[in-house]
């Protein structure tokens, strides 16, 4: 898909990957509507990059619906909806049901509500694209957060279902699955920063993937290798991830350095 002249909506565009996507789409010649829960920062960044800002809470269906309606009323069309907003909360079994529910609504239901409200418009035009920011955690896992690992798998499953169901009707669906990226979502944790790439590199991969019409867009070569290892030797893969989790905990406690010889089997 050529992005020049397209109308593109990006959620979670006040920061990190969403901001980099929005900025890159503007540079590609698209009319970009940037959206975020954080209206103050979102509006300031949209102003800086040359996008129009529409505030929205995508953790509520009414928020997503109002966003799509606002864009259709103003821009008259949506060529690409990037459901990018997401969060990582909670670790193991401790998170409250409220945190599981928040993860479910923002990381999964926002994609479902986005598709529900934008697809009738795209199908009527016979064209459109949905770029879903998932994560390598949707292909692999995330050892530090059960809600994140689970909801990112669900987001990937929904993106696959969309691609299968609407792929023959002019709708392109892509799942953006980066590993670690330098954004506030991963904080300043040194063991995560080591492999983290800049959000602009994710935006490059997304633009290339959209141009090539790819479903699966990854940012690190090791993601696909680990995904294959998981499929081919699942028990062995689980063992390696356990090793990784143990070593990461050790490093978090400052006991010893992260070993270079362990394959990176997780994503964020």
Ligand X SMILES: NC(=O)c1ccc[n+]([C@@H]2O[C@H](COP(=O)([O-])OP(=O)(O)OC[C@H]3O[C@@H](n4cnc5c(N)ncnc54)[C@H](O)[C@@H]3O)[C@@H](O)[C@H]2O)c1
Contact set with ligand X (CB under 6 A): 11-12, 14-18, 36-38, 56-59, 84-87, 106, 133, 135, 178, 180-181, 183-186, 268
Provide, rounded to whole angstroms, the least separation between the CB of residue 124 and ligand X. Answer: 26
- Of 61 and 123, CB closest to ligand X: 61
Which residue in this structure is represented by tokens 């798998």? 153
Provide, rounded to whole angstroms, the least separation between the CB of residue 32 and ligand X. Answer: 15
- Of 86 and 147, CB closest to ligand X: 86
Say if CB 129 and CB 79 are below 8 A apart.
Answer: yes
**3-state class of 3 per DSSP?**
coil
Burial of 262 (0-12, 13-18, 19+ CB in 10 A): middle
Alpha carbons 50 and 3: distance in angstroms, whole number: 16
- Of 90 and 178, CB closest to ligand X: 178
Burial of 184 (0-12, 13-18, 19+ CB in 10 A): exposed
Alpha carbons 265 and 180: distance in angstroms, whole number: 12
Provide, rounded to whole angstroms, the least separation between the CB of residue 56 and ligand X. Answer: 6
The DSSP symbol for 105 reads: I
To the query of whether residue 148 is one of the catalytic residues in this protein, the response is yes
Provide, rounded to whole angstroms, the least separation between the CB of residue 143 and ligand X. Answer: 14
Active-site hit among 53, 113, 148, 158: 148
- Of 170 and 194, CB closest to ligand X: 194
Alpha carbons 37 and 56: distance in angstroms, whole number: 5
Alpha carbons 78 and 80: distance in angstroms, whole number: 6
Catalytic annotation, residues: 148
């Amino acid at each position: 898909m050529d992005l020049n002249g397209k109308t593109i909506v990006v959620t979670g565009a006040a920061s990190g990957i969403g901001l980099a996507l929005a900025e890159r789409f503007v540079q590609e010649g698209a009319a970009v509507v940037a959206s975020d829960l954080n209206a103050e920062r979102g509006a300031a960044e949209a102003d800086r990059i040359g996008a129009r800002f529409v505030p929205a809470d995508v953790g509520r269906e009414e928020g997503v619906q109002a966003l799509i309606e606002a864009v259709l009323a103003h821009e008259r069309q949506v060529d690409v909806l990037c459901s990018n907003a997401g969060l990582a909360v909670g670790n193991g079994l401790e998170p409250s049901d409220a945190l599981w529910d928040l993860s479910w609504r923002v990381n999964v239901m926002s994609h479902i509500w986005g598709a529900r409200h934008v697809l009738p418009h795209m199908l009527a035009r016979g064209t459109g694209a949905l770029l879903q920011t998932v994560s390598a955690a949707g292909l692999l896992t995330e050892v530090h957060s059960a809600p994140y690992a689970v909801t990112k798998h669900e987001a990937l499953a929904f993106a696959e279902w969309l691609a299968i169901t609407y792929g023959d009707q002019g709708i392109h669906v892509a799942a953006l699955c980066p590993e670690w990226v330098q954004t506030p979502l991963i904080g300043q944790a040194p063991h995560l920063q080591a492999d983290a790439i800049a959000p602009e590199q994710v935006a490059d991969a997304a633009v290339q993937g959209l141009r090539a019409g790819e479903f699966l867009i990854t940012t690190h070569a090791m993601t696909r290798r680990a995904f294959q290892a998981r499929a081919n030797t699942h028990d062995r893969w689980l063992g390696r991830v356990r090793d990784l989790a143990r070593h990461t905990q050790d490093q978090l406690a400052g006991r010893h350095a992260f070993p270079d010889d362990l394959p990176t089997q997780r994503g964020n």
